[in-house]
Structure 1
Amino acid sequence: MSKIADEKLAAQGRKKIEWAESRMPVLMSLREKYGKSKPLKAQRIAGCLHVTKETAVLIETLKEAGAEVSWSGCNPLSTQDDVAAALAEEGTDIYAWHGLSNEEFYWCIEQTLNFKPTLTLDDGADLIFTIHKKHPELAKEIIGGTEETTTGVHRLRAMGEEGKLLYPVIAVNDAETKWDFDNVYGTGQSTLDGIMRSTSVLFAGKTVVIAGYGHCGRGLALRASGLGANVIATEVNPIAALKATLEGHRVMKMDDAAKLGDIFITATGMKDVIIGRHFESMKDGAIVCNTGHYDLEINLNDLESLAKTKREVRANNEEYVLKNGNRIYLLAKGRLVNLAAAEGHPSEVMDMSFANQFMSMISLVENKGSLENKVHDIYAEQDCDIATLKLKTMGFSLDKLTAEQVKYLTDYAAGT
């Protein structure tokens, strides 16, 4: 069973998936390896993750390893309808289409639970939260789950610390081969891609205000600077703010940055980062967008209340004319601009993130019954194996320590 936008788009979607496969050698090599041993045989995986061509490669790899899969999108605007059609045509149960209402979004999640999953795979933890809030009885059959985002991991850790998590979850987001690459290079490139597609604006000479200087914010600053923009970072964490300063960016409060910015990008995972008073002090023509998982970082109610007119001027670009006469351009309705207005992260970087998802599914099965009901980090060995495999597919190799060098590492008597 599936519910998608248009089954006629399947052929177009299949071409996209095949392109992604050609860019994701790590995941494809894992598909070949585990397609023989079928370690996920008899497992039922419910997934809630952006339906993109890269996700399709992950889904079909999980199936090749023996799993049954039922899937929903994790954001109302991120589903690529042609990819969803291609997956449905090949027999994947998928409930996702671009432009879901909030009610439809949760309806789709509910459908993926009908086959009583034994594993969950999440991006934002909406699937896990739905199970805990509405279907706790399903947790008895669930071996474990994975979580892809910083926001989701933070909330699940809090649940685990309070003893309210009903099954173990692996923090895929916290793998070095995920957040030091996907978050930095993926978000940095794909977010700017989304902004350019929806505005065609020149970055050179612009002042770009980045709210949040974590891994994602750092990647945004790196790419914006590379295009000739001047970067201002806003932060609540002094260490992150210091990093931004020493990497050449100005750091200030949003109240001050709002008066200077030409383009604003939120990447915090926190609500109300840009609110009414910030809109009121922005320049005429300011562009505002979000690349955090949820659409609460920009207070849209405040923007609506300040506006006297609103119209769509380009795809994924709405012009709000404020009562003071200034124009504010909101991209992708405050949703993830890199997925709603572009295609998400490049396949090459998602290769490592989704290899971690795949291997974590296998790890949960192998460790069934031995993991506490809390959030677990990925094994360091898995991180290193994926990094090594990625380097190999890129044509690079590593030096190896000699036996004497290994001995020297722990020889406390060696001195100087």
Structure 2
Amino acid sequence: MTPTIHASEVADMGLADHGEGLCDWSAQSMPILARLRERYAAEKPFAGRRIAIAVHITTETANLALTLQAGGAEVFLCASNVRTTNDAVAAYAARQGVHVHGIQGEDRETYAAHCHRVLDARPHLVIDDGADLTGLLHGARTDAASDVVAGLEETTAGIQRIRSLEADGLLRYPVIAVNEARTKHLFDNRYGTGQSTMDAVLRLTNTLVAGSRVVVAGYGMCGKGVAARARGMGADVLVTEVDHVRALEAVMDGYRVMEMDRAAELGDLFITVTSSKNVLRAEHFALMPDGAIVCNSGHFDVEIDVPALRAAARKHTRPRPGVDQYTLANGRRITLLAGGEVVNLAAAEGNPATLMDMSFTNQVLGCEYLLRNAAHMDRRVHALPADIDDHVADLKLRTLGVGIDTLSEEQIAYLRSWDQGSA
């Protein structure tokens, strides 16, 4: 079928100049991507290729899209969440020739329509964040899947969905789990999500973290980052988990670990980062202290049972932008941030550009790798090749002015041997 190219749909093209300034500022902290853009401008490795991106439309994402475009790709961009589009950035990217479909605060129907418009272009590569495009390509939009060579997935929640497709034998093309690259989850997820989540909480509430009890639900890489940042700000951090090893790790890291039923009675601030559903439920709301704040930093807005909170409330007020306060029948007030959406993007600016530089370099180099190798790859979830991961770390160290040692020939021989020990 012939691709259908829709005109960009953004909130206001008049915001493009402002968006350019924001993207330029971000680019100053993304030197690896800048190097790639220079190389791609000369080599055009993506010439003739259509690349679909469903990622939060931030300054860093715009720089990703423009890097792929410099390499010859025709790029189609939509948001991966209804609340995570920067309208100025969307306008700037559209002015630069990226096909952008995203508006801050769009309703679910518009969000779905934007995903479909990107797929109408019949992309060759799909860069996903949460697997919404991937889900459509395996459901309602199988008609658009025939041209897809391969995909890449950015986040834990999305990889869970794609692994389910693989387990059911339904995955139509190979997918690289970019989130599992060391230079992604060890830095972006941990340091980035930790900082940006606490940034969002402070922007919305101006609350004092020091001396408070912060409950972190989930101790994956994002949870580790949130817990560390909260403790660094003086909080008493409690962790809840369903995984025995992660729970034990949290204990060894010095946190109190307990069931949510117990933590609910103690917490002042609750942050979910689990990639699961209904982690905070009606029975937990009923136990929380008066004034407890709840928010979600996982990808989807299902970690907090918001409908149950609304149903239990006898009164609802909005004392500050992005802050909903619900008074329960017991008179206690529960404060919900950003409507239960991913708070660090819905209420702040997401993870810092210096970390996204590595994550998005993985995406770009992953695209190059897939165009060369996808035809010979199984239809399953693949790791990003270790040499790409290591190369990204090397590039990042170089931009930071950091040097490391190299192994001598003697050391290499020793490490490869089986007969050289202490004897």
TM-score range, shorter chain: over 0.9
Which residues of 2 match residues 104-183 of structure 1 at below 5 A?
104-183=110-189
1:52 maps to 58
1:304 maps to 310
* CA drift at 1:195: 0.4
2:264 maps to 258
User: 1:206 aligned to 2:212?
Assistant: yes
- CA–CA distance in structure 2, aligned partners of residues 411 and 339 of structure 1: 49
1:230 maps to 236
1:277 to 272, 275, 283: 283
* CA drift at 1:368: 3.4
* CA drift at 1:34: 2.1
2:15 maps to 9
2:71 maps to 65
2:35 to 29, 33, 55: 29
Conserved in 1, the CA contact under 8 Å of 2:313 and 2:326? yes
Deviations 1:378-403 (A, max 9, x none): 00000000000000000001100011
Deviations 1:350-409 (A, max 9, x none): 000000011111111011311111111000000000000000000001100011110111
* Helix, strand or coil at the partner of 2:28: helix
* CA drift at 1:154: 1.5
- CA–CA distance in structure 2, aligned partners of residues 107 and 61 of structure 1: 26
- CA–CA distance in structure 1, aligned partners of residues 226 and 374 of structure 2: 39
* Helix, strand or coil at the partner of 1:310: strand
Q: Cα distance 1:284–1:377, how it changes in 2: closer, same or farther (>3 A)?
A: same
Deviations 1:22-65 (A, max 9, x none): 00011111111222111111110111100000000000000001
Unaligned runs of 5+ in 1: none
* Helix, strand or coil at the partner of 1:293: coil
Larger deviation, residues 46-55 vs 83-92: 83-92
* Helix, strand or coil at the partner of 2:231: helix
- CA–CA distance in structure 1, aligned partners of residues 385 and 326 of structure 2: 48
Query: TM-score, normalized by length of structure 2?
Result: 0.97
2:388 to 371, 376, 382: 382
* CA drift at 1:140: 1.8
1:332 to 338, 343, 349: 338
* CA drift at 1:179: 0.4
- CA–CA distance in structure 2, aligned partners of residues 315 and 387 of structure 1: 39
User: 1:415 aligned to 2:397?
Assistant: no
- CA–CA distance in structure 1, aligned partners of residues 277 and 199 of structure 2: 24
1:289 maps to 295
2:363 to 322, 337, 357: 357
User: 1:242 aligned to 2:254?
Assistant: no
* CA drift at 1:138: 2.2
* Helix, strand or coil at the partner of 1:140: coil
* Helix, strand or coil at the partner of 1:121: strand
2:4 maps to none
Deviations 1:162-202 (A, max 9, x none): 21001111100100000010000000000000000000011
2:274 maps to 268
Larger deviation, residues 33-42 vs 385-394: 33-42
1:344 to 342, 350, 357: 350
- CA–CA distance in structure 2, aligned partners of residues 310 and 79 of structure 1: 27
* CA drift at 1:210: 0.3
2:86 to 66, 80, 86: 80
Larger deviation, residues 181-190 vs 4-13: 4-13
- CA–CA distance in structure 1, aligned partners of residues 116 and 379 of structure 2: 23
- CA–CA distance in structure 2, aligned partners of residues 51 and 26 of structure 1: 20
RMSD: 0.8
Moved over 4 A (4+): none
Conserved in 1, the CA contact under 8 Å of 2:83 and 2:106? yes
* CA drift at 1:93: 0.8
Query: In the comparison of the two structures, how many residue pairs are matched?
Result: 416
Deviations 1:216-240 (A, max 9, x none): 0000011000000000000000110
- CA–CA distance in structure 1, aligned partners of residues 61 and 48 of structure 2: 21
- CA–CA distance in structure 2, aligned partners of residues 312 and 153 of structure 1: 35
* Helix, strand or coil at the partner of 1:219: helix
2:3 maps to none
Unaligned runs of 5+ in 2: 1-6
2:26 to 7, 20, 26: 20
2:190 to 166, 170, 184: 184
Query: TM-score, normalized by length of structure 1?
Result: 0.99
2:46 maps to 40
2:408 maps to 402
Counterpart residue type for residue 283 of structure 1: P
